[in-house]
Amino acid sequence: MALSRRSLMGLVIGTTAALAGCSSSSAGLPQGTVVIDVRTPAEYASGHLEGATNIDIEANTFSAKIAKLDKNAAYFVYCHSGNRAAQAITAMKAIGFTKLTNGMGIDAAAQTSGLKIVK
């Protein structure tokens, strides 16, 4: 499946500073896993997983932001349906990340992770 122009232009994610201290101790995720919501800020504001950091894959800063993250950390990435999470994971793998889990859509991610959806 080809990435849309919008998706390709949106390969820019959050910063290490934004993620500092954002880790999970939920029964569904390994200790220290960083939870990333790659939806838009408006989608994030409408409800997100507790403790998740919003790193919008559609923002033009996505690539620069993911480049600053710890490539050795574990990441649980989710979006609305799993498509943007998969795109983010592909971009992250391309620059050396290896501990990546696609949480799929927010409802599936909540169930898998054991984290609550909060506003």
Residue 88's nearest CA partner among 14, 11, 16, 9 is 11
CB 58 within 8 A of CB 14: no
Distance of CA 10 to the CA centre of its chain: 13
> Which residues are 117's β-sheet partners?
49
CA torsion, ordered 45, 90, 17, 52, to nearest 10 deg: 30
Q: Which amino acids are annotated catalytic?
A: 79
